[in-house]
Structure 1
Amino acid sequence: MLAEERRVRILRRVSEYGAARVADLAELFKVSEMTIRRDLDALAERGALDKVHGGATSRASRTEEPGFAAKSARQQAEKDAIARAAVELITPGSSIGISAGTTTWTLARQLTGIPDLTVVTNSIQIADVFHAAPAPNTSVVLTGGVRTPSDALVGPVAVAALSQLHVDLVFLGVHGIDPDAGFTTPNILEAETDRAMISAARRLIVLADHTKWRTVGLSTIARLDQADVLISDDALPADALDTLGEQVGDLVIATASS
């Protein structure tokens, strides 16, 4: 297969699925990972896709909502570090809310060894994590609702379910963080559902990597000063450190593995 033909097929696959990993593409096309990286470099130079750590994602507006697969390929080392820091806030026997998102999904994957949890979530993907590897005596409550491209369940059914519940902590994933707009999402119904989850919790912990800084989604979920804790990674820029250090209750910086 000629390089250009392979690149056309790579682009078609990334466009179809929203994202692709280098290792998966190398196996699919029976070439080395180095060859795939050169292909992705060439496609990124043309503006056909965006290179991310370990793969590539399709191009989308900053206010559009990418699918779960597209987001899960981004900043994985940072998400792992953030999740490890978040786990330290959870004790056996806690009741926790976990909003939809790939960073919160990464957290969920690290919680399956903590016993006696009650987990409330509006994420199909997160519920699946606990179904596949249930922790001892863990209960999972999955809200109903309308499914979004990122596999969140949102809307009046989800809001009604959350309004009847009470949890110790809520872990919130966000699309963007901005000094003026606060914590945002591109989905209006998801913002409403996230606000209901925040109202059900005693404390709000926001999980967001450095790329979310100064990204603004369509709808505000919460102000910066509503976050009791914000956990991000060590690539957060200096202006973000200053602003967030003043606004949020506690700013935790996790060190991502290289």
Structure 2
Amino acid sequence: MLAAVRQARIIDEVRRTGGVRVADLTELLGVSDMTVRRDLDALDRKGLLTKVHGGATALDTASAIEPSFETKRARERPEKQAIAAHAAKLIRPGMAIAISAGTTTWALAPHLAAIGNLTVVTNSLKVAEALYDASRPDLTVVLTGGLRTPSDGLVGPVAVQAIRSLHVDLLVMGVHGIDIRAGLTTPNLLEAETNRAMVDSAKRVAVVADHTKWGVVGLSHIAPLSVVDTLLIDENLPDEATEALAKHVGEIVAVHDPEKAHRVSAESS
């Protein structure tokens, strides 16, 4: 297959899914890892995609453009489901928790059905809808007001004021990007402010993100990596990234199966 043909197919795949892995492209194109990496390098230099550890993402994932909820929901679905299942293990009956907007946090909502006597503060319309559908008398849902984002989050001064008046045991937060220098980021300025308020209101912070968020830097800074008590991320994160992150976050849960996870603590790094 000619390089131009391969690269055209790579661009089509990135635009269709929002992000691709090297391993998936080698299978799709029937070529070696090295060939795929050279193609990604060439396309990145041309400004046609953004190369990240282990693959590539569409340009808008590293810009000020926020993808819609439906667009993000289609990306890395198995990984998000596994991450959400493990995140549910951090939640105990009787807790007050906050859940930020996002597709991985939305995947957490069905897992809360088995946890009794919960109070959930969220700025996610999708999360609130899923929890309201459960119709549980022992579940209290507090939905913040605010301006609606493309990813169906509520942000801005109204949301921030509501969040700052509350205190929660745990925040489960999704992010647009994770970077050693930039920390946790999002393309939406108002969402960054709202998420910072959530971080300030929580005793513990758990970040849920698939591996394609690694190396991505959004326009607006949410918080440094040091605020993260637990990072739940799928096993496709490169080893060097895991080692780098372990120096900054409290704990990494590398999710590889709905029933299993390998834990790496900062103390052991």
The reply to whether TM is greater than 0.5 is: yes
Q: How does 1:112-127 map to 2 (within 5 A)?
A: 112-127=113-128
8 Å Cα contact 1:123-1:152 kept in structure 2:
yes
Q: Does 1:228 align with 2:193?
A: no
DSSP 3-state at the match of 1:112: helix
Separation in 2, partners of 1:236, 1:216 = 16
Moved over 6 A (4+): none
Compute the displacement of 1:108 (Å): 1.2
1:50 corresponds in structure 2 to: 16
Q: How many residues align?
A: 213
1:139 corresponds in structure 2 to: 140
Separation in 1, partners of 2:221, 2:133 = 33
8 Å Cα contact 2:60-2:67 kept in structure 1:
no
Q: Does 1:61 align with 2:26?
A: no
Gaps of 5+ in 2: 1-5, 21-56, 259-269
Q: How does 1:2-13 map to 2 (within 5 A)?
A: none
- The one-letter code sitting in structure 2 at the alignment partner of 1:172 is M
DSSP 3-state at the match of 1:61: helix
Cα displacement string for residues 66-125 of structure 1 (whole angstroms, at most 9, x for unaligned residues): 000000111111111111111111111110000000000001121122110000000000
Report percent identity of matched pairs: 51
8 Å Cα contact 1:97-1:169 kept in structure 2:
yes
DSSP 3-state at the match of 1:216: coil
Compute the displacement of 1:135 (Å): 3.7
Cα displacement string for residues 12-55 of structure 1 (whole angstroms, at most 9, x for unaligned residues): xxxxxxxxxxxxxxxxxxxxxxxxxxxxx9985563832479xx
Q: How does 1:217-256 map to 2 (within 5 A)?
A: 217-256=218-257
Separation in 1, partners of 2:151, 2:120 = 19
Compute the displacement of 1:138 (Å): 0.3
Separation in 2, partners of 1:125, 1:43 = 35
RMSD: 2.1
Q: Which moved more, 1:61-70 or 1:148-157?
A: 61-70
- The one-letter code sitting in structure 2 at the alignment partner of 1:61 is D
Q: How does 1:1-258 map to 2 (within 5 A)?
A: 44=9, 47=12, 49-51=15-17, 61-62=60-61, 63=63, 64-256=65-257
Compute the displacement of 1:234 (Å): 0.5
Compute the displacement of 1:180 (Å): 0.4
Cα pair distance change 1:59/1:242, threshold 3 Å = closer
DSSP 3-state at the match of 1:128: helix
TM-score by length of 2: 0.75
8 Å Cα contact 2:83-2:234 kept in structure 1:
yes
DSSP 3-state at the match of 2:236: coil
8 Å Cα contact 1:192-1:221 kept in structure 2:
yes
Gaps of 5+ in 1: 1-40
DSSP 3-state at the match of 2:221: strand
TM-score by length of 1: 0.78
Cα displacement string for residues 198-254 of structure 1 (whole angstroms, at most 9, x for unaligned residues): 111100100011110000000111101110111101101112111111110011111
8 Å Cα contact 1:227-1:249 kept in structure 2:
yes
Separation in 2, partners of 1:113, 1:136 = 13
Cα displacement string for residues 137-160 of structure 1 (whole angstroms, at most 9, x for unaligned residues): 000000000000000000000000
DSSP 3-state at the match of 1:197: helix
